[in-house]
Amino acid sequence: MSIAITPHLNFRGTARAALEHYRDAFGGDLSIVTHAQSYGTTDPAEADLVGWGQVEAPSGFRIMAYDVPAERDHHPGVAPSFVSARGTDAEELVAAWAVLAEGGTIVSPLEPSQWSPLSGMLQDRFGITWVLDVAVAWS
């Protein structure tokens, strides 16, 4: 048995744009089920919002997201979490970093660190904090 951990991100009306952005950064397939399809929502303001969405890439990258319905409380950034994207291909991480950084804020630059030949942290334009690094073997 194996367990895969997939971050599931909550947005208010921007889940589709965020998932498209992450697909552009990491590649893969985008799947979206709308509020109308998943919850039977008939309110035109929310019917086309993301009830469940996912980006899944052959590399193993996977992330899920949805738009929190208006009747639910939602305070982005109050209890932030990091999404860690760790890989073995520095070029792939550099390319993803470039896309994620568009309109975002660099927390720590993508550069060599004590634990990795390449590591950095940024907050993307959707308020999600990403840590990207090249994995190394620990003994």
pLDDT tens, 17-76?
A: 999 999 999 999 999 999 999 888 889 999 999 999 999 999 999 999 999 999 888 888
Q: What percent of the chain has pLDDT over 70?
A: 93
Longest dimension (CA), the chain: 56
Nearest one of 64, 65, 67, 60 to 13, comparing CA atoms: 67
* Average pLDDT rounded to a whole number, residues 128-134: 90
Q: How do strand 62-67 and strand 8-11 relate by DSSP bridges?
A: parallel
d(Cα 86, Cα 118) in Å, to the nearest integer? 10
Side chain identity at 47, as an amino acid letter? A
The CA distances from residue 68 to 25, 75, 97, in Å, are 23, 10, 27
pLDDT of residue 80: 58
pTM score: 0.80
Phi, psi of 19, rounded to the nearest 5 degrees: -65, -40
Per-residue pLDDT for 135 more than 60? yes
